[in-house]
Amino acid sequence: MNAWRKLLALALLSALLAGCLATFDEPFAPGEKAPAAMLGQWQARDAWGEHLKLTIQAAPNGHYTAISYQKGSPAPRDQATFTVSRHGGRWYAAAPMPKAYGGRFALVGFELSDAGELVVYNLDLERLQQAIAQGAMVGERSDTREGQGVAVRSTPAQVFAWLDDPANSDVFVEIARYKRAAH
Protein backbone atom coordinates (compact mmCIF):
# COMPACT_ATOMS: atom_id res chain seq x y z
CA MET A 1 0.00 0.00 0.00
CA ASN A 2 2.97 2.33 0.52
CA ALA A 3 3.57 2.67 -3.23
CA TRP A 4 0.00 3.89 -3.63
CA ARG A 5 0.39 6.25 -0.70
CA LYS A 6 3.40 7.91 -2.32
CA LEU A 7 1.18 8.74 -5.28
CA LEU A 8 -1.17 10.52 -2.88
CA ALA A 9 0.72 13.73 -3.60
CA LEU A 10 -1.11 14.08 -6.89
CA ALA A 11 -4.02 15.68 -5.07
CA LEU A 12 -6.96 14.96 -7.31
CA LEU A 13 -5.31 12.02 -8.98
CA SER A 14 -3.66 11.08 -5.73
CA ALA A 15 -7.00 10.17 -4.36
CA LEU A 16 -7.55 8.10 -7.43
CA LEU A 17 -4.44 6.10 -6.76
CA ALA A 18 -4.53 5.92 -2.98
CA GLY A 19 -4.23 2.47 -1.47
CA CYS A 20 -7.64 0.87 -1.25
CA LEU A 21 -9.27 1.93 -4.43
CA ALA A 22 -12.49 1.87 -6.44
CA THR A 23 -11.97 1.58 -10.18
CA PHE A 24 -14.47 1.73 -13.02
CA ASP A 25 -14.76 0.00 -16.39
CA GLU A 26 -15.87 3.02 -18.40
CA PRO A 27 -14.32 6.49 -18.65
CA PHE A 28 -16.15 9.46 -17.18
CA ALA A 29 -16.86 12.07 -19.82
CA PRO A 30 -15.57 15.56 -19.10
CA GLY A 31 -18.45 17.66 -17.94
CA GLU A 32 -17.61 21.18 -16.94
CA LYS A 33 -14.71 23.51 -16.77
CA ALA A 34 -12.94 23.21 -13.43
CA PRO A 35 -13.42 26.04 -10.94
CA ALA A 36 -10.73 28.66 -11.61
CA ALA A 37 -9.77 28.58 -7.93
CA MET A 38 -8.66 24.95 -8.31
CA LEU A 39 -5.82 25.91 -10.64
CA GLY A 40 -2.47 26.96 -9.28
CA GLN A 41 -0.02 25.98 -6.55
CA TRP A 42 -1.03 23.95 -3.48
CA GLN A 43 0.76 22.49 -0.47
CA ALA A 44 0.01 19.97 2.25
CA ARG A 45 1.52 17.44 4.61
CA ASP A 46 0.72 13.80 4.13
CA ALA A 47 -0.06 11.31 6.90
CA TRP A 48 3.68 10.79 7.44
CA GLY A 49 4.39 14.52 7.87
CA GLU A 50 6.05 14.82 4.46
CA HIS A 51 5.65 18.18 2.72
CA LEU A 52 3.79 17.96 -0.56
CA LYS A 53 3.59 20.54 -3.31
CA LEU A 54 1.07 20.36 -6.11
CA THR A 55 0.52 22.32 -9.30
CA ILE A 56 -2.82 22.01 -11.11
CA GLN A 57 -3.05 23.53 -14.58
CA ALA A 58 -5.30 23.45 -17.61
CA ALA A 59 -4.36 21.06 -20.42
CA PRO A 60 -5.78 20.75 -23.95
CA ASN A 61 -9.24 19.38 -24.77
CA GLY A 62 -10.95 20.04 -21.43
CA HIS A 63 -8.34 18.15 -19.41
CA TYR A 64 -6.22 19.22 -16.45
CA THR A 65 -2.78 18.21 -15.26
CA ALA A 66 -1.71 17.64 -11.65
CA ILE A 67 2.02 17.69 -11.00
CA SER A 68 3.39 16.82 -7.58
CA TYR A 69 6.75 17.69 -6.08
CA GLN A 70 8.54 16.80 -2.89
CA LYS A 71 9.67 19.75 -0.82
CA GLY A 72 13.09 20.95 -1.91
CA SER A 73 13.08 19.11 -5.24
CA PRO A 74 12.58 21.06 -8.48
CA ALA A 75 11.88 17.87 -10.46
CA PRO A 76 8.30 16.59 -10.63
CA ARG A 77 7.63 13.45 -8.61
CA ASP A 78 4.43 12.43 -10.38
CA GLN A 79 2.20 13.83 -13.11
CA ALA A 80 -1.32 12.90 -14.19
CA THR A 81 -4.01 14.15 -16.53
CA PHE A 82 -7.66 14.17 -15.45
CA THR A 83 -11.08 15.54 -16.34
CA VAL A 84 -13.57 17.36 -14.13
CA SER A 85 -17.36 17.14 -13.92
CA ARG A 86 -20.11 18.29 -11.62
CA HIS A 87 -23.10 16.14 -10.70
CA GLY A 88 -25.74 16.65 -8.04
CA GLY A 89 -23.95 19.60 -6.48
CA ARG A 90 -20.62 17.75 -6.16
CA TRP A 91 -17.37 18.13 -8.08
CA TYR A 92 -15.56 15.06 -9.38
CA ALA A 93 -12.18 14.41 -10.99
CA ALA A 94 -11.65 11.30 -13.10
CA ALA A 95 -8.51 9.82 -14.61
CA PRO A 96 -7.33 6.74 -16.40
CA MET A 97 -5.28 4.43 -14.22
CA PRO A 98 -1.79 3.46 -15.35
CA LYS A 99 -1.64 0.14 -17.19
CA ALA A 100 0.45 -1.24 -14.32
CA TYR A 101 -2.66 -0.81 -12.12
CA GLY A 102 -5.17 -2.33 -14.50
CA GLY A 103 -5.72 0.53 -16.95
CA ARG A 104 -9.26 1.14 -15.67
CA PHE A 105 -10.64 4.50 -14.49
CA ALA A 106 -10.75 6.14 -11.08
CA LEU A 107 -12.97 8.86 -9.61
CA VAL A 108 -12.62 11.21 -6.62
CA GLY A 109 -14.72 13.99 -5.21
CA PHE A 110 -13.29 17.39 -4.40
CA GLU A 111 -14.35 20.77 -3.09
CA LEU A 112 -12.92 24.19 -2.55
CA SER A 113 -13.69 24.98 1.08
CA ASP A 114 -14.76 28.36 2.46
CA ALA A 115 -11.26 28.54 3.98
CA GLY A 116 -9.75 28.36 0.48
CA GLU A 117 -8.56 24.76 0.81
CA LEU A 118 -8.68 22.06 -1.84
CA VAL A 119 -10.23 19.03 -0.14
CA VAL A 120 -10.06 15.65 -1.89
CA TYR A 121 -12.37 12.71 -1.11
CA ASN A 122 -12.09 9.04 -1.99
CA LEU A 123 -15.04 6.67 -2.28
CA ASP A 124 -15.68 4.52 0.81
CA LEU A 125 -15.04 0.92 -0.26
CA GLU A 126 -17.34 -0.58 2.38
CA ARG A 127 -20.24 1.54 1.13
CA LEU A 128 -19.50 0.52 -2.46
CA GLN A 129 -19.38 -3.15 -1.46
CA GLN A 130 -22.74 -2.75 0.32
CA ALA A 131 -24.25 -1.12 -2.77
CA ILE A 132 -23.02 -4.01 -4.91
CA ALA A 133 -24.32 -6.61 -2.43
CA GLN A 134 -27.73 -4.85 -2.42
CA GLY A 135 -27.84 -4.71 -6.23
CA ALA A 136 -27.68 -0.90 -6.42
CA MET A 137 -24.44 -1.18 -8.41
CA VAL A 138 -22.64 -3.93 -10.31
CA GLY A 139 -19.09 -4.94 -9.44
CA GLU A 140 -16.91 -7.07 -7.25
CA ARG A 141 -14.12 -6.92 -4.74
CA SER A 142 -10.68 -6.80 -6.32
CA ASP A 143 -7.36 -7.43 -4.68
CA THR A 144 -4.24 -5.87 -6.15
CA ARG A 145 -0.62 -6.00 -5.17
CA GLU A 146 -1.21 -2.67 -3.40
CA GLY A 147 -4.29 -3.63 -1.39
CA GLN A 148 -7.99 -4.27 -1.52
CA GLY A 149 -10.19 -2.50 -4.02
CA VAL A 150 -13.60 -2.59 -5.66
CA ALA A 151 -14.04 -3.02 -9.41
CA VAL A 152 -17.28 -1.22 -10.30
CA ARG A 153 -18.89 -2.44 -13.53
CA SER A 154 -21.87 -0.04 -13.51
CA THR A 155 -22.04 2.64 -16.21
CA PRO A 156 -21.05 6.23 -15.36
CA ALA A 157 -24.75 7.20 -15.50
CA GLN A 158 -25.59 4.51 -12.93
CA VAL A 159 -22.64 5.52 -10.74
CA PHE A 160 -23.63 9.20 -10.73
CA ALA A 161 -27.29 8.38 -10.08
CA TRP A 162 -26.18 6.40 -7.02
CA LEU A 163 -23.78 9.14 -5.87
CA ASP A 164 -26.45 11.84 -6.36
CA ASP A 165 -28.92 10.02 -4.09
CA PRO A 166 -29.02 11.92 -0.76
CA ALA A 167 -29.02 8.56 1.05
CA ASN A 168 -25.42 8.16 -0.16
CA SER A 169 -24.17 11.57 0.94
CA ASP A 170 -21.65 9.97 3.29
CA VAL A 171 -19.98 7.76 0.66
CA PHE A 172 -16.88 9.98 0.50
CA VAL A 173 -13.96 9.93 2.92
CA GLU A 174 -11.54 12.86 3.10
CA ILE A 175 -8.03 11.84 2.09
CA ALA A 176 -6.21 15.12 1.44
CA ARG A 177 -6.50 18.79 2.36
CA TYR A 178 -4.33 21.28 0.48
CA LYS A 179 -3.76 24.96 1.22
CA ARG A 180 -2.85 27.58 -1.35
CA ALA A 181 0.94 27.72 -1.62
CA ALA A 182 2.68 31.01 -0.86
CA HIS A 183 4.84 32.15 -3.75
Q: How far apart are CA 172 and CA 109, in angstroms?
A: 7
DSSP per-residue letters across 15-49: HHHSSSEEEESSPPPP-SPPPGGGSEEEEEE-TT-
pTM equals 0.82
pLDDT of the residue at 88: 80
CB 94, CB 107: distance < 8 Å: yes
In tens digits, the chain (183 residues) has pLDDT values of: 333 333 333 334 444 444 467 889 888 877 689 999 999 999 988 667 778 888 999 999 889 999 887 766 666 677 888 999 998 888 999 988 877 667 788 889 999 999 999 999 989 999 999 999 999 999 998 876 667 788 899 999 999 999 999 999 889 998 889 999 876
